[in-house]
Amino acid sequence: MTKVHNFSAGPAILPQEVIQSCIDALQNFENTDLSLIEVSHRSKEFVSVMGEACHLVKKIMKLGGDYEVIYLQGGASTQFLMTAMNLLEKKAAFTNTGTWAKKAIKEAKAFGNVDIVGSSEDKNFSYIPKDFDISDDYDYFHCTSNNTISGTQMQTFPECNVPLVCDMSSDIFSRELDFTQFDLIYAGAQKNMGPAGTTLVVIKKGLLGNVTRYIPTMLDYNTHISKDSMFNTPSVFAVYGCMQTLRWIDKQGLATIEKLNTQKADVLYNEIDNNDLFEGTTAVEDRSKMNITFVLKDDSRNEDFLSACADANISGIKGHRSVGGFRASIYNALGLDSVTALVNVIKAFK
């Protein structure tokens, strides 16, 4: 079987051992002689999977009993709505760093006042805004840690005296962080966590219950916390895939994962910076280590480059339709050999 170098932005590459574990479970889950996708989510075997998937998140993030972990459906797009519905009483602060931040801002405006305290829209989201103030009278501050389309990433997070909410969909578990600085984290699973179909939410206890509006049952975080993510039928396959991926992450450790991710990013950025035909699209200090965006200076040759990538079994390199160019998503499970293969194509193209 020919190896394909998968640079897709999501659903994205998974570790081979995770894929094999999922295949095995699809055929015979936990010696039940049933497939994973036909067992009851109330069975003791799957309840154990959900429990481990939640436990591993807290273990890897080094969080204590003051945090809750739940798995939901609807992707990060539903979290744009749920965070505001559950937390926004009067006003909230946001940074606008790209497409996904703009979508979160749009949803929040339905529930209260939204102040954009920092924005990079003036330069097409090519940098992370800094040196902004977050006053103490906000209900919370919301940011997006990594921007898949524009290729920027927050290297640090602001200190503030209000709850810190972060969309970590595209860089969760890719580096060491002090996760206790966050009050609510959400992330679609399909980048670094597992297959598409479930969404992780990590919530600090005591954060909820401060809004006066009625919250529909399915959109109330407390509903899912009280039922251990089992209020409705969870995405059984996706949660199992997350558990297996979290085992893989835990085995390596975030320090090791971050080191490799930095190495991969350095190799690719170095070639882009030193190749006369290409250039990066983001501020150097804000470059993402997950989604590397770049362009050909002569965009009339774009199709030739994409053809060269296809010949080298490189997949998913085309930039987002809203910005064009190229994007190499180098999530945790992508090996350095794949990055080297792309670098070789870039060199040969010159």
* pLDDT exceeds cutoff 90 at 12: yes
Give tens-digit pLDDT for 24-82. 999 999 999 999 999 999 999 999 999 999 999 999 999 999 999 999 999 999 999 99
Q: How far is CA 145 from CA 50, 95, 123, 126, 164, in A?
A: 26, 10, 18, 14, 12
Give tens-digit pLDDT for 215-225. 999 999 999 99
Q: What is the CATH number of domain 16-252?
A: 3.40.640.10
Give tens-digit pLDDT for 245-273. 999 999 999 999 999 999 999 999 999 99
Mean pLDDT of the chain: 97
Give tens-digit pLDDT for 297-338. 999 999 999 999 999 999 999 999 889 999 999 999 999 999
Give tens-digit pLDDT for 191-235. 999 999 999 999 999 999 999 999 999 999 999 999 999 999 999
Question: How do the domains of the chain map onto residue ranges?
Answer: 16-252, 254-349
Q: What is the DSSP letter of 130?
A: -
Q: What is d(CA 326, CA 110) in angstroms, rounded to the nearest whole number? A: 35
pLDDT number for residue 325: 96
Q: Rg (Cα) of the chain, in Å, rounded?
A: 21
In percent, the amount of the chain with pLDDT more than 90 equals 98
Domain 254-349 classification at class level: alpha beta
Selection from 104, 92, 182 nearest residue 137 by Cα: 92
* pLDDT exceeds cutoff 90 at 350: no
Question: Which pair of tokens denotes residue 237?
Answer: 């396959």
**Residue 14 pLDDT class (50, 70, 90 cuts):** very high
pLDDT number for residue 342: 98
ω into 11 cis (within 30 of 0):
yes
pTM of the entire structure?
0.97
pLDDT number for residue 130: 94
Q: What is d(CA 273, CA 214) in angstroms, rounded to the nearest whole number? A: 53
pLDDT number for residue 2: 84
pLDDT number for residue 137: 97
Question: What secondary structure does DSSP assign to 313-336, as a single string?
Answer: TEES-BPPTTT-SEEEE--TTS-H
At 249, is the secondary structure helix, strand, or coil? helix
Catalytic residues: 100, 167, 191
pLDDT number for residue 61: 98
pLDDT number for residue 89: 98
Q: How far is CA 123 from CA 24, 77, 287, in A?
A: 48, 25, 14
* pLDDT exceeds cutoff 90 at 1: no
Mean pLDDT of 140-155: 98
